[in-house]
Amino acid sequence: MRKIAAIAILVFITVGFAYTKTDAKTVKNRCFISNYEEKEGKNAKPIHLTNEAFKKKVFNYEKNREWKYEGDLPCIIDFYAAWCGPCRKVAPILDELAVQYDKKIVIYKVDTDKEKELAAAFRISSIPALLFVPAKGQPQMAKGALSKEQFIKIIEAVLLENN
């Protein structure tokens, strides 16, 4: 009986110690939240949009039949889900691009699990789906995980071409 109690106490202490050593950065990484906020001196970051915020900042698809971008700067809209492996691969690239193209483009993120109506309005059937929206002109959709180099080529050719 003493052996069982000693083993139980040892397991309890070991498990408790493991959880107390978990710092905020580890928790953020486990929860698929970008650790971008930890970079000092960097204010640019992807902005998470709800359906209502999307209609105000990007396009009110309920009011307008024809495309009318509501923003001033070109943008990228990343339709993603937290469980999606390729989406998690793209997330740090978008964090870097938000810094690299700060004040030139805006990067938005839409969680398709939380914003089902918005995902349906844009007929998102696979993720990641990326909508590249120039300040003037028609948006272009890309599907799948893109490399940083591919993002840069599209940003330069589609989003910053006329700016």
Task: Catalogue the active-site residues.
Answer: 84, 87
Residue in this structure with the two tokens 């509501």, named with its chain if needed: 70
| Helix (H) and strand (E) counts in the chain | 6, 5
Amino acid letter for position 154 = I
| CB-CB neighbours of 48 under 10 Å | 14
Q: Are 108 and 57 in contact (CB under 8 A)?
A: yes
Strand partners, 108: 47, 77
